[in-house]
Amino acid sequence: MADELRVAHKPTLRDPVMITAFRGWNDGGQGASLAGGYLAKTWNAARFAEIEPEGFFDFQATRPHVSFVEGATRRIDWPDNAFYHASIPGLERDAVLMLGIEPNLRWQTFTGLVAGLAQELGVELVITLGSLLADVPHTRPSPVTGGASDPELIKELGLQRSRYEGPTGVVGVLHDACGRAGMRSVSLWAAVPHYVSLAPSPRAALALCQRLSDILRTDIDMEELEEAAERYSEQVSEAVASDEETSAYVAELEQRAEMIEDEEDIPSGESLAAELTRFLREREKDGGSDGPTEQP
């Protein structure tokens, strides 16, 4: 099991915070993975460790990809879960970014490896990023819900205590592992319009980075994300305008959004994700489907 976590070198870090983003059930519209990748790029993060995929993936469900190197040599790219470290601009502390794919197997062992490394690196706070499909319009900023189990952290950061009961993803299991290891953790979820679930959502990524900026109490350069979010909104608006029924539905969502006065009226991220999964499965039984809530 020790060989499943490969650490090339152990960086020296200042008061580090760990930020995680997984592709899969926790990543509607790729909002979380876009946000995590953007932070790694903006902060010039350097890779220092990875988790060997062999024992955690069913390769018939999560298949490796074959690609060409310089148009000649074939290379197999396996599912990747890697750790990066970076200085956080404006703060005297560092970030450990854990970016990867939700595993198929042995979640307790997997999250134990993540939490164990976080402890070794001196991490006291873990922040998970997630995005979910929901009944929200693309014309407005993506709502973000934030939750935690620690009462002091809830009060300090203006979060919510999760009361969700139901199916969970690897994010939920990771929070449990952090709690058993004595580390505090925060869960952030951005809502993505379910009618454009297959399109990557820079608007959700932007909302997550903005909320993360508030929690860390520092400015994050989001100019590139803001431009991408604006283009996204314009492109989706053009597509929606071509269908009268969808246009009417988006107008209804906009009216609903106006009625929501504060974040407390928004259900938790996992609750919304599970509810939409149930709804779509019922539609499939009736002979119709809007598509899966889980991303490949």
266: tokens are 């928004």
C-alpha–C-alpha distance, residues 97 and 151, integer Å? 25
pLDDT value for 259? 67
Contact partners, residue 159, CB within 8 Å, separation at least 6: 146, 147, 148, 153, 186
Task: Give the CATH number, domain containing residue 274.
Answer: 3.40.50.10900
* Domain presence at residue 26: yes
Full 3-state SS string of 103-143: CCCCHHHHHHHHHHHHHHCCCCEEEEEEEEEECCCCCCCCC
C-alpha–C-alpha distance, residues 16 and 151, integer Å? 21
Cβ neighbourhood burial of 99 (10 Å; 0-12, 13-18, 19+): buried
pLDDT average, residue stretch 92-117: 96
The C-alpha angle with vertex 217 and arms to 7 and 47, in degrees rounded to 5, equals: 15
Q: Is the model's pLDDT at 124 over the cut of 80?
A: yes
The parent domain of residue 89 ranges over 2-285
* Domain presence at residue 291: no
pLDDT value for 295? 33
Question: Total structural domains in the chain?
Answer: 1
pLDDT in tens, 163-199: 767 788 899 999 999 999 999 999 999 988 887 777 8
C-alpha–C-alpha distance, residues 202 and 225, integer Å? 6
Quote the DSSP letter at residue 199: S
Mean pLDDT of the residues in the chain: 83
pLDDT in tens, 13-69: 999 999 999 999 889 899 999 999 999 999 999 999 999 999 999 999 899 989 887
pLDDT value for 253? 74
* Domain presence at residue 258: yes
Contact partners, residue 44, CB within 8 Å, separation at least 6: 86
| DSSP β-bridge partners for residue 190 | 131, 144
Quote the DSSP letter at residue 163: -
C-alpha–C-alpha distance, residues 42 and 57, integer Å? 30
C-alpha–C-alpha distance, residues 190 and 184, integer Å? 21
